[in-house]
Amino acid sequence: MKTSVDDLALFGGPMAFEKTLVVGKPSTGDRAKFYERLEVALDSGRLTSGGPLVKEFEARIADHTGAKHCVATCNGTIALEVMARAAGLTGEVIMPSMTYVATAHAMRYLGLTPVFCDLDPATGCIDPEQVERLITDRTTGLVGVHLWGQPAAIQELEKIAELHNLTLFFDAAHGIGCSFGSQPLGGFGKAEMFSFHAAKVVTTFEGGGIVTNDDDFAQLARYTHNFGWGEEHVTEFAGTNAKMSEASAAMGLTSLDALPATIAANRAHYEQYAALLDGLPGLEMHRYDEENRNSYQYNVVKVDEEECGLSRDTILDLLRADNVLAQRYFSPCVHECEPYRTERPVSLPATDAFSRRVLTLPTGPSVTSEQVREVSALVAFAIEHAPEIRKRLA
Ligand code: T4K
Q: What angle do CA 139, 141, 142 make, to 5 degrees?
A: 110
Point out the domain boundary residue: 240, 257, 274.
Answer: 257
Tens-place pLDDT, residues 22-67: 997 899 999 999 999 999 999 999 999 989 999 999 999 999 999 9
Peptide bond into 339 cis (omega under 30): yes
* Separation of CA 360 and ligand 1 centre (Å): 13
Closest approach atom of ligand 1 to CA 171:
1
Pocket perturbation via mutation, ligand 1, pick of 100, 146, 333 by most ligand atoms within 8 A of CB: 100
Contact 49, 245 (CB under 8 A): no
pLDDT of 24? 79
- The answer to whether residues 208 and 303 belong to one domain is no
* CA separation for the pair 385, 379 (Å, rounded): 10
In a domain, 352, yes or no: no
Nearest-CA residue for ligand 1 atom 5 is: 100
Residue 317 lies in a domain: yes
Alpha carbon distance 273, 181 (integer Å): 25
d(CA 48, CA 29): 22
Catalytic center residues: 200
Q: Does residue 236 sit within a domain?
A: yes
Give the end of a domain, one of 210, 227, 257: 257
Q: What secondary structure does DSSP assign to 325-387, as a single string?
A: E-B-TTSS-GGGSTTHHHHS----HHHHHHHTTEEEE--STTS-HHHHHHHHHHHHHHHHTHH
Both 314 and 188 in a single domain? no
Q: Flag whether 339 is in a domain.
A: no
> Does residue 123 share a domain with residue 77?
yes
What CATH number does residue 11 fall under? 3.90.1150.10
β-pair type (139-145, 92-96): parallel
Same domain, 85 and 202: yes
User: Count of domains in the chain?
Assistant: 2
The answer on 206 and 141 residing in a single domain is yes
pTM above 0.90, yes or no: yes
The domain boundary, picked from 257, 277, 307, lies at 257
Q: How far apart are CA 199 and CA 243, in angstroms?
A: 20
One-letter amino acid at 24 equals: G
* Domain match, 64 and 17 both: no
338-386 pLDDT per residue, tens? 999 999 999 999 999 999 999 999 999 999 999 999 999 999 999 999 9
Task: Specify whether 232 is located in the same domain as 294.
Answer: no
Q: Is residue 117 part of a domain?
A: yes
Mutate which of 21, 81, 197 to test ligand 1's pocket (most atoms within 8 Å of Cβ)? 197
* All residues at 6 or more sequence positions from 228 whose CB lies less than 8 Å from its CB, including other chains: 235, 236, 237, 238, 239
Q: Which helix (H) or strand (E) holds 77?
A: helix 76-87
Residues 294 and 192 in one domain: no
Does residue 194 form part of some domain? Answer: yes
In a domain, 350, yes or no: no
**How many angstroms separate the alpha carbon of residue 328 from the centre of ligand 1?**
12
- What is the residue range of 142's domain? 31-257
Does 289 lie in the same domain as 275? yes
Please check whether residues 45 and 169 belong to one and the same domain: yes
CATH code at position 151: 3.40.640.10
The answer to whether residues 100 and 270 touch, using CB atoms and an 8 Å cutoff, is no
**Residue 66 falls inside a structural domain:** yes
Mean pLDDT by 10 residues, the chain (394 residues): 92 94 92 98 94 98 98 98 98 98 98 98 97 98 98 98 98 98 97 97 98 97 93 83 98 98 97 94 96 97 96 97 96 97 96 97 94 97 96 93
Is there a single domain that holds both residue 304 and residue 203?
no
Residue 42 sits in the same domain as residue 183: yes
